[in-house]
Chain A
């Protein structure tokens, strides 16, 4: 190559460079009044969009699947060569090149998991072609607990990446915190339902067994029958599958309950059941009627010297079933009942009523709470309305 050519190149080179630079600036200059946004705005939108895409998977919590989906979005958010998400034990997802690093990741973040402070490290990769020479690891925290880490890799040390990774980790942490909140809310509702499930009173179990025992000698056949009823009844009441049942099953359980009660009180209790067969398949919350019947039995036996009458009817009312439980017992003082239904009745009284009222409202809405007609010495009539269909309520 001749010297002249070299000289031309030296002169023209910078000139071309300068021209290119000017041209580039000109075309890239933000147009202030553009409707479609400046490049900075566009970049912001893109970032926000990517972030919004990454959020839904994270709302499911930090699992392998959610990490895999989120890692892709997060890497494009950070613009790095590789990104890795871990929990406290293992690598959950690796996105980008250089996956062979994932063996060392857990060792490199060990200190971080203990201290909760971000760290940076040289990847120390033996493969010289590997672009991942440097990494930054930041914690993902929920409630001050380190749930996992986010590790971003770059060809060389970069403060910008370190800062960006920190911000992204903070954003991910917020999402995880929300996920935790979702989960605990669900857990709360479930725990509430479990707690709300009527408990069979120990008295009842004791009394039933005592009544059955009294028949063992005099009438072994009856005792055996009652014991089977008792077994069936408790099995139903203690069952663990599903929150819903059918009206048929519920009434059957009540029938068994009444058989046990009658074993004890005999003629003092007269029960009439009126059931429209049309409503037997209706799905309803588990053990919603039994506490009401128990209530009626208690009221009936409390005052009456003579026979106490209880009427249980299940009627077809168009799109609803209407269950009415009525007794001619001592009744209740309306104001006290109001307090009970407000949850101010004290520990021992009327827990069953409150419990049923709450569950009905929880499943069907406020307009399906218990309607109770009562007065002191006037007996009690409890009306329960159950919609024949409600999305999500399926009895078996």
Chain B
């Protein structure tokens, strides 16, 4: 896949060239952290409150899922109604899961929007 024109005769040859090992140590970690620090200046408290609101949204969705998934097998075992199992697990479950996911994403994105507004509304440090 060399892009040489065939007209050039004889075809010049390429050699592989690399720099010599410099035994450089990769940059120390703290440099990268200093960079992130710029963002941390936004304030730990702010990030914590964002995390709390996101976790609340997540736990709400998860609790709903866990509650349903936790009780359904028991319900099936006591009902012993095969058609119900087919209807619930074979069809109804998927749209419900997708809806729950959609609800969560909306809520999580709203949290982030509110947070961004909150942070941007504050005087620049």
- Chain A interface residues (CB < 8 Å from chain B): 186, 189-190, 241-244, 309, 311, 326-328, 331, 334, 337-338, 341-342, 354, 357-358, 361-366, 369-379, 381, 390-394
Instruction: Indicate if the CB atoms of A366 and B23 lie closer than 8 Å.
Output: yes
Which residues of the other chain, A, contact B13 by a CB distance below 8 angstroms? 375, 378
Q: Which residues of B contact A186 (CB under 8 A)?
A: 30-31
Whether A376 touches B12, Cβ cut-off 8 Å, given contacts A342-B20, A362-B27, A369-B19, is: yes
Closest to B36 in A: A394
Distance of B13 from chain A, by nearest CB (Å): 5
| A341, B27: Cα distance in complex, Å | 20
C-alpha gap A373/B15 in the complex (Å): 5
Candidates B19, B28, B30; contact of A361 at CB < 8 Å: B19
A392/B15 in contact, CB under 8 A: no
By a CB distance below 8 angstroms, the chain B residues around A338 are 17
Residues in chain B near residue A311, CB distance under 8 A: 3
B80 at the interface (CB under 8 A from A): no
Residues B3 and A373 in contact, CB atoms below 8 Å apart: no
- Chain B residues, CB < 8 A from A391: 29, 32
The reply on B38 being an interface residue by CB < 8 A is yes
**Would B14 and A381 count as touching, CB distance under 8 A?**
yes
Task: Please indicate the chain B residues that have their CB under 8 angstroms from the CB of A326 in the complex.
Answer: 1-3
Complex Cα distance, B15 from A365, in Å, reads 23
Asked if B5 CB lies within 8 Å of chain A CBs, one says: yes
Is the beta-carbon distance between A392 and B19 smaller than 8 angstroms?
no
Chain A residues contacting B35 (CB-CB under 8 Å) are 242-244, 394
A-B contact pairs, 9 of them (CB 8 A): A244-B35, A334-B15, A354-B19, A361-B19, A362-B27, A366-B21, A369-B18, A392-B33, A394-B32
The minimal Cβ–Cβ distance linking B32 to chain A, given in whole angstroms, is 3
Give the one of B16, B24, B28, B31 with max A CB within 10 A. Answer: B24
Closest 6 CB pairs of A and B: A392-B32, A378-B12, A341-B19, A328-B3, A377-B12, A334-B15
Interface presence of B22 (CB below 8 A): yes
Residues on A with C-beta less than 8 A from B19 are 341-342, 354, 357-358, 361, 369-370
Question: In the complex the two chains form, what is the Cα distance from A375 to B5 in whole Å?
Answer: 15
Q: Would you call B81 an interface residue if the criterion is a C-beta within 8 Å of the partner chain's C-beta atoms? A: no
**Complex interface residues of chain B between 62 and 106 (CB less than 8 A to chain A):** none
B4 at the interface (CB under 8 A from A): yes
Q: Is B26 part of the contact surface with A, judged by Cβ < 8 Å?
A: yes
- Tell me whether B14 and A374 are in contact (CB under 8 A): yes
List the A side residues contacting B1 at CB < 8 Å.
326
State the CA gap A328–B12 with chains docked (Å): 11
Across the two chains, which residue of chain A brings its CB closest to B22?
A361
**For residue B11, which residues in chain A have a CB less than 8 angstroms away from its CB?**
378
Closest chain-B Cβ to A323's Cβ sits at a distance in Å of 15
Least CB separation from A341: chain B residue: B19
In the complex formed, the residue of A with least CB distance to B20 is A342
Contact B14 A373 (CB under 8 A): yes
Q: Does B8 contact A (CB under 8 A)?
A: yes
In the complex, the answer to whether B4 meets A379 with C-beta atoms within 8 Å is yes
Complex Cα gap A309–B4 (Å) = 9
Contacts A373-B14, A391-B32 known; 14 new A-B pairs at CB < 8 A: A243-B35, A326-B1, A338-B17, A358-B24, A366-B22, A369-B19, A370-B18, A370-B19, A372-B16, A374-B14, A374-B15, A375-B15, A392-B33, A393-B32
Q: Do B17 and A341 have beta carbons less than 8 Å apart?
A: yes
- CA–CA, A327 and B5, complex, Å: 11
Q: Closest A-chain residue to B29, C-beta based?
A: A392
Given A362-B26, A365-B24, A378 contacting B14 (CB threshold 8 A): yes
The reply to whether B16 and A373 contact each other, CB–CB distance below 8 Å, is: yes
